[in-house]
Structure 1
Amino acid sequence: MLRTLLLTTFLGCMMILSACTMGDEDSVIEDNTLWIAPFNQDPEEQYVLREVTLTSSTIVDGKPNHLDTLNVGDVITIEYTETDSSIAESITRK
């Protein structure tokens, strides 16, 4: 009985988690906004995602307005505009 309950709970959690990850993974950028997290993270700490605004003049890997090259999990370096530290001037993938 306990084994059945644990198995049912485990399968239920797996279905919920898989449903959460199946969403919009084909689109990293939504409404010209990119959400980023630090690359080096301590599993015991909590981190806040940073909102980065992208414009049509944002350069990605040396190409203007080439935002579709970014993927979930990419390690990137962002250079911000001088006037606003939330707007990306250029993005370079490592």
Structure 2
Amino acid sequence: MGISAYPVLTHKAATDVSYLACARYIFNCEQRFYPQFATHNAQTAISLLEMASDRRDFEFQRLHGMGDALFEFLLRQYPQLQCRIWCAAYWKMGQIRLLCIV
């Protein structure tokens, strides 16, 4: 499956652990990265908020129509997130893909 030296995760739990391990690495490299996390998974979003602690220099992104209720809830529950942590929703329009910020 795939390239022999490139791991392919075949179980959701392994994918989730890998995603969070990469997120922690990105948070620890604050001088190199501006963290942007795409998710509509509530557990992942809460885990990212816990990792971020008091940081506000990151953002969430989501697919249009996915995770609306989750992010409405998070923005109500975590008013300290303010505008540096925002939700970008994007969807395909016509023959090209446009990033539509909401």
Coarse TM-score class (shorter-chain normalised): under 0.3
More helix by share: 2
* TM-score scaled by length of structure 1: 0.24
How does the TM-score come out when normalised to structure 2? 0.23
Looking at secondary structure, tell me which structure has more strand per residue: 1
When Rg is computed on C-alpha atoms for both structures, the one with the higher figure is: 1
